[in-house]
Structure 1
Amino acid sequence: MKYWLMKSEPDVFSLDQLKKDKTTWWEGVRNYQARNFMMKDMQVGDLVLFYHSNAEPSGVAGLARVSHAAAPDKAQFDKKSEYFDPKATKEKPIWFCVEVEYVDTFKHFISLADLREAKGVSDMLVLQKGSRLSVQPVDKKHFDIVKKLGGL
């Protein structure tokens, strides 16, 4: 099993929305490295720290799980979508996404500031200067610390 952190702006798609919907395709990722993580590395059953980004405060809200392996992101073919890519074809899709399912909401939201002060996680990618990836790997030791900080 692998561990991940996935970012979403809560006014676009929050953990509460995932809880309500139960599952969602993590569409709209338009960064090749993040896409490659979903396409090549993520497996059904992997656990995800659900991170609310560009929020006041930003931070980890809870847990999700990869529930379906990567498939072509349908938004790349939709001319009305902001994620439309004219170079993508159904025969040769460019963008892929995994499906995630809701697992749990943290009892204690972990703000980015709290994460920066926590012991044992200083080398997490999300805390590195200039790290903006919306999908990123997390070491198991970091995942376990963050989960504990969240009260689970």
Structure 2
Amino acid sequence: MRYWLMKSEPDTYSVDDLAKASEPAMWEGCRNYTVRNFFRDSMADGDLAFFHHSNATPSGIVGTMRICGDAFPDPTQFDPNSDYFDPKAPADGSRWICRNVQLIRKFERIIPISELRETPGLEAMLLLARGQRLSVMPVTEAEWNIINGLHGL
């Protein structure tokens, strides 16, 4: 099992939106080749992820979710009405990949980045690296356990 952190701006897709989903929801619209490769090559059914609200006040971790099923072509790459449309996407859908996720738990409080920066054991966490812009990134098992401990889990 691997652990991940997945970012979304809450005005685009929030933890509350995911909580309303009656079945696993598609995490679409990632247009970065590193993220595509994580989805395709590293992430697996049953992996766990933190849901992180980015560009929020405060930005931080708001819950946990489970990766459901296999990676599949992101249908938004073919939709000319989508913000994520890619006119150069090949017909086989191999350029952009997405994953289904299901909420496990919405945290009672946001764990802000400022708190993560001050937490021993998280000094090397990719999220906290200067210039880090990925919307999906791996989390170590130790980081997973420390952050869940901040929430009392």
TM interval, short-chain normalised: over 0.9
Give structure 2 stretches of 5+ with no counterpart.
none
Residue of structure 2 equivalent to 1:112: 113
Residue of structure 2 equivalent to 1:8: 8
Residue 108 of structure 1, CA deviation: 3.1
Q: Map 1:91-106; keep pairs closer than 5 Å.
A: 91-106=92-107
Residue 105 of structure 1, CA deviation: 1.3
Asked if structure 2 preserves the Cα contact closer than 8 Å seen for 1:107 and 1:151, the reply is: no
Residue of structure 2 equivalent to 1:129: 130
RMSD: 1.0
Residue of structure 2 equivalent to 1:38: 39
Q: TM-score, normalised by structure 1?
A: 0.96
d(CA) in 2 for partners of 1:60, 1:102: 13
- In the alignment of these two chains, the number of paired residues is 152
Give structure 1 stretches of 5+ with no counterpart.
none
Asked if structure 2 preserves the Cα contact closer than 8 Å seen for 1:77 and 1:89, the reply is: no
Q: Secondary structure at the match of 2:36?
A: helix
Residue of structure 2 equivalent to 1:18: 18
Residue 92 of structure 1, CA deviation: 4.7
Q: Secondary structure at the match of 1:115?
A: helix
**What are the Cα deviations for residues 8-58 of structure 1, in whole angstroms up to 9, with x where unaligned?**
001111111101114211100000001100111000000001000000000
Asked if structure 1 preserves the Cα contact closer than 8 Å seen for 2:67 and 2:102, the reply is: yes
Residue of structure 1 equivalent to 2:52: 51
Q: Secondary structure at the match of 1:122?
A: coil
Asked if structure 1 preserves the Cα contact closer than 8 Å seen for 2:74 and 2:93, the reply is: no
Q: TM-score, normalised by structure 2?
A: 0.96
Q: Secondary structure at the match of 1:35?
A: helix
Regions of 4+ moved over 3 Å = none
Residue of structure 2 equivalent to 1:144: 145
- % same residue: 48
1:19 corresponds to which letter in structure 2? A
d(CA) in 2 for partners of 1:143, 1:24: 22
**What are the Cα deviations for residues 101-151 of structure 1, in whole angstroms up to 9, with x where unaligned?**
010012332001111111111110000000110000000000110111122
